[in-house]
Structure 1
């Protein structure tokens, strides 16, 4: 009678696929997969609810490899379990590890490899993104309890827990008591430089997590029974859990086991041959015995009955509820949104309010939020300043996840990463908020949102020197340019209430790009007083004030400086100079437009002037070598009008710059 493969055989299949792929690539990180294979085997074989045939099943458990440098652990598991079916990873994919165009890049990439739940590699991002996943599960379950019931599991390294982001993430999870979040710490005490506890860190991580409101305990990372017992206890808890698994990096390598040499470089043929002998794995590279592969494929199919039972529960939902659930997890916007926004734009054209765009954003949300129930807003402890809470919106609390507003605390980085997690989980369009200057705190997570091509719409207010008295520490002068430089990040800087709601609409419609709405503290006049059905901001730039006659000057501006540009247009008119004004709410959206549209908007005026209360970087693509009225250094504390005067960002200065160039 045939016997089932042992636990060691299943774990060794992971180990040697990983070490062989790293060796073939002569690049990678073999140490983590070799040390963490036992806990990964327990998790996938005995715990994880998933159906390898459908890696996108909405009610699957999520597994996040926060220690993304150990990517071959995940790729080996995805291959062994057959995740993705005919579209899943093959042995050839593993052999192409870290090669150009392969489906097995150096770190896991969302949307690139079937079964990868989020992009990881920058340490700390995985665990923080997983907090957003776990929060999204609780929130979606509050609305669809019969079809949402899963957990989020994370494998984190010493490096993940050393990054400051982990502090923000675990504090959020502890406060909201995200009991369905379970983190395995690959506690091998080794990083690139050497032994962690000797060189750079002796934090009691178990105590740290406990202080943040988590369960936390130590287990032997090679003891399958102990690991499983710890998981079962975690599943029964009312709090998130850290399981600190003592492992040995590079387990089985004759001379590198337990050393930094096992971390991030190919082991070498002799070392791998020794590991094969030490671990009783006599098979050549990339060969998996049929019984071991069969056992792993059975693991991949284990969740099929759960998946089928879920399908039945989904079918039993009221048809309207089922359609709404499927729309939300499918990422489709509600059908009536365009009509709601068009009606609101008509109202704004009539009322012509003079308000700050942060207040215009609040008013726009009051219209959009009821029409888009999946939109979830929040703030990093700046709710009264960001104006992102709709008055009737219920707040998320540890005891009630049915609301739509999240108090993130003063944690911009944790907020942005958790918003990424909510987006990749599905069912929500998340939106965080803070001051624009503090995007610097959130930048790694913002970058990953752009890289993953996910829809997150952040609101960052106090967008320029126009915030005034708080001074240069809070006045963003370089952030706009730096965010525009980020591929696939759309920064929207509206000039009035109509542009604000149009920018919100355009951001929501970008299903594969994150957006930032940069909004003012100071009041701005209404500029769009005639209703236009088309979303003009969606094209990134458009002529907002035509010239009378043939334009000698084109003035390009964004946000609060558009009204200033229009005032400069009137000064030039009084001097007999015909000028036109172009509003540029989003450069990236403009550069996406067809060339003929871009040419028509840029126009053929002799002089092109750029105006923005920020640095010039990025404007040359529109104005060429034309004059720029803006910032060249940091800001100044004072009333905002005085600050604009101090730096010479005025209608008169714009007109003078245009005249000077015309004269030249």
Structure 2
């Protein structure tokens, strides 16, 4: 697909100034009406935003989900009023009534941009740095899409970032990654206003951001005057012609034009106040009432939006030609964007079941390869641990070839997860990333945004307990599974063998409205006895998600007698639970064992003594079962089986705990 030229309609100098002032005062009016928000950033960054949207951004307000649109990310999400002003001016479904309702409950103009709440918002931003990271993910997805479907792909990704975005560590991770891959088509504008919430940037940071970006392999430019639209435009044109990612440092004044607060932290996070706002408008010669858009600006934006609609119509014609020439590829493009699963997935996953014991990370590797055989849109990688996490999946993408499906993220857990969010939001791919479970702490902020945005990112988290062994307590997760379970919208699955691992992958791939964490073992686990698992749920067809299940009945007493006991366990603890149950049956108890792969779906049997066994924190189990057997302390360095034994995870030790409980039970 040929490159897209800048808009053929260039507003006059007078219209430019009028549009910039419109954006400034729409933002200030929103904050004033709400008596809450951040007016300073929008007032300073309005010229660069207007230049980008009026001359370069390729989009169609009538269809915010057009596959080949340019993406725009406001990484400095506290300046959301600027984005809402742009969306309103260009005709997105954001009427002026929503601007009046800025930051109010139920409005489409929340305090920070939220994906799914406002048409035209590409991602949820506010946690600084993550917008930039998601923009990198979108740019990577664009390059990978263009490598597969060059006939119908030719868009770019733009982002506006602030000082806070660049100070956050994740910005270093993703800027390094983007420079390494030479993600041309990614253009970042830095709102260089030298102010943070607490005061001048110089109080805490003296980085040369342009030099830093250049060191990462980016094209860089400095625009000394952030009100000079011609200079910003020229810098954007040069950036679009460079094969590297571009970093444009645009010097601005926070709270531009607001007497007494412009250029200071006082303009950052508080309303200007009615008197100061009136003074700012008077200085700018602005006489219109709040929230009124000048007719000249309204007409210009309507023309610019129509150009975007025409570009979209041309693309639809190009796609129709592509469909006629390559119908199978076109159908694959549509299926992947619709997140529909291929018909052969359940059979491919079911075929991975083996007889010999193996770690569930190895079971997961087999599942991944099976899924890849029918899902070319399934892409991802690891934080430099693919061999250990079971996520080796072929050749990796590199700067000269983006046709592969594997991504080497390097030792950048946070960056990896945030990039995966951007790739998922871009559309056309199902994405996964992997690391050791204990390092989920490094990527948690991005995982939380996966859940908040409802993105089906799959997190493959291995080495799931103190059975990791010799690497010691720094690498032995204890509280991590429990801490993941409390994240709203995150599906946490800890399978016990091949059959459950295949089900876990199908559950993860069938889900399109939120992320999944697969919690997998380092050590080998036995395959559960199929003779004792007649009630184990099988997966449903591809027309719907697998049938919900609380778990698997792994073993049941054939002759009920006396006290009824329900032992629930997850992952590596299911097999020892089955062994303990056999001993308890010999004592005359009625016992069943349930493998609870997903605890959120589990309800204990009120008529039985329910006992949980999981090699991790008991915090979540304690209020759910009668006896929670777990680990509420850090582990030790040593062979995995010895460490497990020291913490009471042998069949004998478990039996002693259960018998002690039963002796004292009513």
- Equivalent residue number for residue 206 of structure 1: 210
* Residue in 1 that maps onto 2:103: 98
1:363 aligns with 2:366: yes
Counterpart in the other structure of 2:527: 526
* Structure 2 residue 648 is matched with structure 1 residue 645: no
**Equivalences for 1:230-309 in 2 at 5 Å?**
230-309=235-314
Q: 2:160 aligns with which of 155, 161, 164?
A: 155
Q: CA deviation at 1:606?
A: 3.3
Q: Is the 8 A contact 2:135 2:422 kept in 1?
A: yes
Which of 597, 604, 608 is matched with 1:606 structurally?
Answer: 608
Deviation at 1:281, TM superposition (A): 1.2
**Using a 3 Å threshold, how does the CA distance of structure 1 residues 165 and 74 change in structure 2: closer, same or farther?**
same
Is the CA contact 2:413–2:442 (under 8 Å) kept in the aligned structure 1? yes
Partner of 1:595: none
Whole-angstrom CA distance in 2 between matches of 1:528 and 1:172:
46
Quote the offset at 1:622 in angstroms: 3.5
Mapped to 1, the partners of 2:548 and 2:477 lie a distance apart of 24
CA deviation profile, 1:381-415 (whole Å, cap 9, x unmatched): 1111111013xx22111111000111100000000
Contact 1:67 1:121 in 2 (8 A): yes
User: 8 Å contact 2:537–2:552 — kept in the other structure?
Assistant: no
Tell me, yes or no, if structure 1 residue 70 matches structure 2 residue 118: no
The Cα shift of 1:496 comes to: 0.8
The CA deviation string for residues 30-75 of structure 1, in whole angstroms up to 9 with x for no partner, is 0010000000110000000001111110000000000000000000
Q: Which residue of 1 aligns with 2:594?
A: 582
Q: How far 1:340 sits from its partner (Å)?
A: 2.4
Computed over aligned residues only, the root mean square deviation of the Cα atoms, in angstroms, reads 1.6
Q: 1:457 to 1:526 in 2, by over 3 A?
A: same
CA deviation vs aligned residue, 1:453-498 (integer Å, no higher than 9, x gap): 0110111111110111111001010110110000001111111111
**1:124 — aligned with what?**
129
* 1:287-310 CA-partner distances (Å, limit 9, x unpaired): 112222121222222212211111
Contact 1:609 1:654 in 2 (8 A): no
In the aligned structure 2, how far is the partner of 1:275 from the partner of 1:540? 61
Matches of 1:206 and 1:421, distance apart in 2: 24
Larger deviation, residues 234-243 vs 295-304? 295-304
Contact kept, 8 Å, 1:174 with 1:213, in 2: the verdict is yes
Q: State the match for 1:186 in structure 2.
A: 191
Give distance in 1, aligned partners of 2:94 and 2:594: 50
Q: 1:605 to 1:637 in 2, by over 3 A?
A: farther
Residue number among 387, 391, 400 corresponding to 1:388 in the alignment: 391
The reply to whether residue 565 of structure 1 matches residue 574 of structure 2 is: no
Would you say the 8 A contact 2:15–2:296 is kept in 1? no
Question: 1:598-633: per-residue Cα shift (whole Å, max 9, x none)?
Answer: 4xxx3244311111110012114531xx11111011
1:473 & 1:526 partners in 2: Cα distance?
A: 29
- The 3-state SS of whatever aligns with 2:474 is coil
Deviations 1:478-522 (A, max 9, x none): 110110000001111111111111101101111001011111111
What is the DSSP-based 3-state SS (H/G/I as helix, E as strand, rest coil) of the residue aligned with 1:432?
A: strand
Q: SS in structure 1 opposite 2:159?
A: strand
Structure 1 stretches of at least 4 aligned residues deviating more than 6 Å after TM superposition: none
Q: How many residues align?
A: 639
Sort the Cα spacing of 1:279 and 1:540 in 2 relative to 1 into closer, same or farther, 3 A: farther
Residues in 2 aligned to 1:528 and 1:416: alpha-carbon distance in whole angstroms: 36
**Separation in structure 2 between the aligned mates of residue 485 and residue 98 of structure 1, nearest angstrom:** 27
- 2:566 corresponds to 1:554: yes
Q: Does 1:82 align with 2:91?
A: yes
- Residue 62 to residue 16, structure 1, CA distance change in 2 (3 Å): same
> Are 1:53 and 1:301, in contact at CA under 8 Å, matched by a contact in 2?
no
The SS at the match of 1:610 is: strand
Q: Which residue of 1 aligns with 2:409?
A: 408
**Alpha-carbon separation, structure 1, partners of 2:610 and 2:617:** 17
CA distance 1:322–1:528, shift in 2 (3 Å):
farther
**Alpha-carbon offset, residue 571 of structure 1:** 1.6
5+ long unaligned stretches in structure 2: 1-10, 540-545
1:497-508 matches, within 5 Å, as 497-508=498-509
In the TM superposition, residue 533 of structure 1 has moved relative to its aligned partner by: 6.7
Q: Write the deviation string for residues 418-440 of structure 1: whole angstroms up to 9, x where unpaired.
A: 00000000000111111000010
1:8 aligns with 2:21: no
SS in 1 for 2:624: helix
